[in-house]
Structure 1
Amino acid sequence: MTRLNRRQFHQSLLASAAAASLPTFASAEATPILNARVSSARLAPAKYPETRIWGYDGLTPGPVLRARQGERMTLLFRNDLPQASSVHWHGIRIENAMDGVAGMTQSAVEPGADFLYDFALPDAGTYWYHPHNRTYEQMARGLYGALIVDEATGAPEVDLDEVLLLDDWRLTDEAQIAEGFGNMRDWSHGGRIGNWITVNGDGAWARDVPRHSRMRLRLINTANARIFSLDTKGLEGWVLALDGMPLEAPQPLGDLVLAPAQRADLIVDVIADEGEEAFLVSVESDGGYAIAAFPVGGAVRQERLAEPTALPPNPVPALGDLGTARHAELRMEGGAMGGMRGAMMGGQMTDMRDMAAQGKVWAFNGMADMGDTPLIDASRGETVRITMTNDTAWPHGMHLHGHHFRQIAADGTLGPMRDTVLMTRGETVEIAFVADNPGDWLLHCHMLEHSAGGMMTWLRVS
């Protein structure tokens, strides 16, 4: 760590837009409405105009939706955007019809129309929601929010439970969201990377805390394509959950990498002295920069609390025999410097030049976009293995809908349950899961320009 300078990270822009909260759904007398609409937010200092954004309830991030494990969530999505949209409940193992994938699990909700979402919440944890129609544009305009499912029992003892949504924005000199969402350079390279980082819509996010206070920090990477490498200063603690799923035992907090869509639940103690600041730090190529600050005043207790215990496990079925599991292979191809000459599109072989003219520059197993045949057709309850190879020059964050999986290491050990895995250039990763949720489910790269550019396939659980 070479420096911590919050003002120099982005020299011309500051932001201030905070997430709000809705009441617990089980106690609501009327069906809550989640309204996607054009709005504005103060993403720059007062000398700049407000930024036009798209937000749920006109906010970016949208309201924090919160309920308790085992409850149902029921809300009416109303679309007042100039584009059709939908809501995907990222990481929640819900009924297929509620997954929110336009063109697959439901029709896109046209401007002026609405759609009723109603589903059970089987798992406690940190999740989020975002559109699944023109996702690369709608999320870049600010359309996303947190979905928190509190533990029915066994929640950890903390002084503060804070949700932190990490994002980057591509802003113009007038503090407006830059257009060019179909920029083929973004699509064929690392995706749309912004020039301005926020936490909860705020480029100088801060929260006053006392020394020795204990916080649960729920980190969510909502960026289109940016991979966040995170560190802390003046905080010490543990990772308790990844992608909503509790670890079997708390792991000491060190460097933390979050690909787009990934989440981490941390328990951290404030160890900075009174009058100092603790920080959440984004580690960049030229040093570390504070993206969230915790000014320390007073002390809540004389000594730190004891080390936390593991969170209660969620009811995810255990893997069956991996030796007899149904198996599929997935090869990622294309992109800049990838060497792919063409792929199947619309039932015919198409060369790279014609693919690019149609906005497609990536492929899975030689096919751009989804074909008529699923990658795997599994019976309900069957254990499935997928070997994925990144034969491209770029990293990819692979996200499976409707399920959580474990990564199988080369020595056969199993990693933690996740719904998104980051794969670096040339890497091969094997995942395994129990196909216990019936329906047709997406498997795609969550670098949103990569997905739109052809990196998506699907599974069927029947």
Structure 2
Amino acid sequence: MAKNRLDRRSFLGASAGTALLCTIGGETFRVSNADDLKRADAKAASLSRPRQASQELTGFPQPEPAPGGQVREYWIQARSRWWDILPNKRDDWHDVPIRGKSTYRAFVYQEMTAGFAAPKGPPVIPGPTLKCEVGDLLVVHFRNADRELEQAVTMHPHGVHYNPEYDGAYMGAYTRTGGFVQPGEEFTYRWEARPDSVGVWPYHDHGPNHTLNTMRGLFGAIIVYPKGGKIPDLERVLFLHALTPPVTGLKTARQCINGRAFAGNTPTIQAKVGQDVALHVIGMDDAFHDFHLHGHRWLDAAGTYVDTPTVGPNETITARFTEDNPGRWLYHCHVFSHQDGGMAGWYVVDR
């Protein structure tokens, strides 16, 4: 009987998932292994800049801040790097080691100082959180600093207002300049924060290989606050997503929070009693997840108390509450295979 049981490693391997379908430059790829991934990347790298569709739409006005608003300026670069999904090599919740290779070639965003003079922080998953208020203009200077994957990438935002020049989307023959930023090139996006932009939104690659590159790690968040609104004492953005063999080339699928799997590797959030806490949870793969925080509940947008709301691909939910319950708590996706595959972490509250 024991021979038929799945050990922990076998269970995780069994949940590795199926092939990933993606279309690159008009060609559909079925990516299920490292060789398929190389072919897809080679196709993306072979694409040349599309002819600009200036004959279709021209003369877009340059966006400016609303009266009383500010220009919020960021310098962001995209680059490839080796990323370890399990830096601590163990699951701290169950106190067990996690064996096997856990490092893959990721594609990530990195914040730089003005003029791309120096790194402002490490290249990480997710990329830097961009913050502004209603009325502000986000000016994002973007550079494709990749020297490994050698393909065009972009930054495409949700939630904010922009004209087609700043969409950051590859659209074949209709592609604008910001939708195809090749290695070594730069482009500046200008995004307006209007009253209907209040909230937390994802941004991600939308270049010719956007499916693979977003799943590799090219994503981050934008937070738009109401004008003069209260900023939480503690605020974190948590992306729920899988890193699967078609993308990583590893043998095992990992269910991740911010590019890491299993408590002790995923973000450990430290809070204090009395703090105004906001946890923003975004889905960033093909699955539906939910978010459960032990010992806590909060009001959803409809004014109903919840403790396990669902979040779909590129959707956001926010758990906001005044902290009143000290202790060590688990947070996790309550899809059980996701939870047991690594999508869990610690929330620690001090008095």
TM-score class, shorter: 0.5 to 0.7
Amino acid at match of 1:237: W
Distance 1:278-1:214 versus aligned 2 partners, 3 A rule: farther
Once residues 298 and 270 of structure 2 are traced to their aligned partners in structure 1, the CA distance between those partners, rounded to angstroms, is: 18
Amino acid at match of 1:78: R
Shift of 1:200: 2.3
Amino acid at match of 1:85: V
Distance 1:62-1:237 versus aligned 2 partners, 3 A rule: same
Shift of 1:268: 3.0
* Residue of structure 1 aligned with 2:126, choices 61, 79, 98: 61
Once residues 250 and 151 of structure 2 are traced to their aligned partners in structure 1, the CA distance between those partners, rounded to angstroms, is: 15
Distance 1:131-1:236 versus aligned 2 partners, 3 A rule: same
Aligned to 2:228: 153
Aligned to 2:213: 138
Aligned to 2:79: 37
Aligned to 2:93: none
Deviation per residue, 1:328-348 (Å, 9 max, x gap): xxxxxxxxxxxxxxxxxxxxx
Once residues 229 and 75 of structure 1 are traced to their aligned partners in structure 2, the CA distance between those partners, rounded to angstroms, is: 31
Query: Any stretches of 5+ residues in structure 2 without a counterpart?
Result: 1-7, 14-68, 90-100, 111-122
Amino acid at match of 2:130: L
Aligned to 2:330: 279
* Residue of structure 2 aligned with 1:91, choices 155, 159, 177: 159
Asked whether 1:202 is paired with 2:260, we answer yes
| Count of aligned residue pairs for this structure pair | 250
Asked whether 1:129 is paired with 2:191, we answer no
Matches within 5 A, 1:289-300: 291-298=344-351
Amino acid at match of 1:128: P
Once residues 198 and 204 of structure 2 are traced to their aligned partners in structure 1, the CA distance between those partners, rounded to angstroms, is: 19
Distance 1:97-1:234 versus aligned 2 partners, 3 A rule: same
State TM-score, norm by structure 1: 0.48
Distance 1:61-1:286 versus aligned 2 partners, 3 A rule: closer
Query: Any stretches of 5+ residues in structure 1 without a counterpart?
Result: 1-6, 13-24, 181-193, 241-248, 299-462
Once residues 149 and 283 of structure 1 are traced to their aligned partners in structure 2, the CA distance between those partners, rounded to angstroms, is: 28
Q: Tell me if structure 1 keeps the 8 A contact 2:141–2:189.
A: yes
Secondary structure of the structure 1 residue equivalent to 2:212: helix
Shift of 1:285: 4.7
Once residues 151 and 291 of structure 1 are traced to their aligned partners in structure 2, the CA distance between those partners, rounded to angstroms, is: 31
State TM-score, norm by structure 2: 0.62
Q: Spell out structure 1 runs of 4+ moving beyond 6 A.
A: 7-12
CA RMSD for the aligned pairs?
Answer: 3.2
Deviation per residue, 1:80-126 (Å, 9 max, x gap): 33111221102323223211111245241222222111122112210
Deviation per residue, 1:121-161 (Å, 9 max, x gap): 112210121011211110121111111112213437x4312
Shift of 1:234: 0.9
Greater strand proportion: 1
Once residues 8 and 271 of structure 1 are traced to their aligned partners in structure 2, the CA distance between those partners, rounded to angstroms, is: 38
Once residues 284 and 167 of structure 1 are traced to their aligned partners in structure 2, the CA distance between those partners, rounded to angstroms, is: 12
Q: Tell me if structure 2 keeps the 8 A contact 1:10–1:196.
A: no
Amino acid at match of 1:70: G
Q: Tell me if structure 2 keeps the 8 A contact 1:234–1:270.
A: no
Shift of 1:49: 6.7
Matches within 5 A, 1:31-430: 32-45=74-87, 50-57=103-110, 58-81=123-146, 82-103=150-171, 104=174, 106-107=176-177, 108-122=180-194, 123-133=197-207, 134-155=209-230, 158-171=232-245, 177-178=248-249, 195-203=253-261, 204=263, 205-211=267-273, 213-223=275-285, 225-240=286-301, 250-270=303-323, 272=325, 274=326, 276-285=327-336, 291-298=344-351
Amino acid at match of 1:89: P
Greater helix proportion: 2
Q: Tell me if structure 2 keeps the 8 A contact 1:146–1:165.
A: no
Shift of 1:237: 0.9
Q: Bigger relative contact order, structure 1 or 2, given CA contacts below 8 A and separation 6+? A: 2
Shift of 1:216: 1.0
Secondary structure of the structure 2 residue equivalent to 1:155: coil
Once residues 66 and 8 of structure 1 are traced to their aligned partners in structure 2, the CA distance between those partners, rounded to angstroms, is: 40
Identity of aligned residues (%): 22
Once residues 88 and 138 of structure 2 are traced to their aligned partners in structure 1, the CA distance between those partners, rounded to angstroms, is: 38
